[in-house]
Structures are given as C-alpha cells and as structure tokens.
Copies of this chain bind each other. A is one copy, B any other.
Amino acid sequence: MKHGTSDRKIGPLTAEEYIEKGKSFHGSMAPGLLIGGFMVDYARKNLPGGEFFDVISETGHCLPDAVQLLTPCTIGNGWLKIIDTGRFAITFYDKSTGDGVRVYLDPKKLESWEEINSWFFRLKPKKEQDSEKLVAEIIDAGPEILSHEPVKVRSDFPARPHKEHIVLCSSCGEAYPEGHGEKCMGCSGLLPFI
C-alpha cells in the first residue's frame, strides 16, 4: 500500500529529495535534521510578513543544518545564529521590525507518535531504536508535531559588532580585534590546546 504521506513536501522538495540533500551535507539523515526540514518549512509559511528573515536556532544539534540547507542563512554569513537554550526550536524574524515566528517541537503533540516520542525523550538506547519506523513517523507527522508563536526580537540584537580596530597580539603576533583585551583570546587560554 502506498504510504499516505509519501508526497509530503519540504518547501519545494519531496521528503526523499530533502533526505538526499541532507545526507550529502550533514553526513546522515539524522531524525533532528528531518524534523528540522519541516520546522523550516513551517516557519516560512507562518512568517508575519516580508521576504527577508534572519534565523535563531535554539540548539546546535542538527537544526542549524536544516536552516543552512533550506534558506540563504548560514552560520558564516551571520544570518543564522545559535543561542543554545537546549530546546528544539527555531525563530525566523525580520531584522528591520523584529517581528518573527518561533517554531518548536511540541511535546504535547508527540503522544500519538511513539517512535518520535521515544527518540526525543531518549526513552531507549540508540541501538534499540527502529530507525526506519522513526523516519517514516517523522514524514507522516510532518508539521503535526510542531507549534508556533509570534515573537518580537529586540532591536539591539545582535549587539552591533563595532568595526573595531585590528591590532597585532603581543604574544602570538596574529591579528585580533582590539576590544578583546591586551592579548588575543587565543593567548588568553580560550582554546582547548595542550
């Protein structure tokens, strides 16, 4: 029997096309990346207006890659930012007005999705997960496990980076923004090097 939601779309892509794209970029089609695809789609459809948006991801796991795959926002161009609250949520907002929409995986909607619920709440070890069933459930569920709320982003976010003077570190000799202090933060012990 044909799966009832095999024609589920993620933006202009079929779920299968998105999965291929995701595997190529992310290395595998992690459950969070697949749910993330539906979250991006859902956020775009519920944007309060306008064409341009910036994105905040509330986790560094998987979700940022869904944003990078499906929108012009990347971590390196600055239109995507990660603020790690540990929640599985993204916010799309218009930088000029601050108006945005926050989309989150809604625990209240997970009850009827056993495999997703079990994965999300880490109810069983990874090796006991039924990956195929999990992926099928996520595609079946699509946006049905998501909720959204309007948000207003503060106009002073992000703190506008000063076009700071670039100076050479007296310790390593490399260039860094003067405002970071007397030495660069690499020489101040920020890096995990022995």
Using CB atoms and an 8 Å cutoff, list the residues of chain A in contact with chain B.
Answer: 25-28, 30, 33, 56, 58, 60-66, 68, 72, 74-79, 82-89, 91, 98, 104-108, 120-122, 151-154, 156-158, 163, 165-166, 168-169, 172-177, 180, 184-186, 190-194
In the complex the two chains form, is B78's CB within 8 Å of A173's CB?
Answer: no
Set B68, B91, B105: member contacting A76, Cβ < 8 A: B68
Set B87, B157, B191: member contacting A175, Cβ < 8 A: B87
Contacts of A172 in B (CB 8 A): 87
Complex Cα gap A142–B27 (Å): 29
In the complex the two chains form, is A65's CB within 8 Å of B61's CB?
Answer: no
Set B107, B176, B190: member contacting A168, Cβ < 8 A: B107
Could you jot down 20 A-B contacts, CB within 8 Å?
A30-B77, A56-B192, A60-B78, A61-B78, A63-B76, A66-B76, A83-B191, A84-B190, A85-B186, A85-B190, A86-B177, A87-B174, A87-B175, A87-B186, A88-B174, A105-B175, A108-B173, A153-B192, A153-B194, A157-B192
> Which 10 interchain pairs have the tightest Cβ spacing?
A65-B76, A157-B192, A85-B186, A85-B185, A64-B76, A86-B176, A152-B194, A154-B192, A75-B75, A86-B177
Complex Cα gap A42–B174 (Å): 18
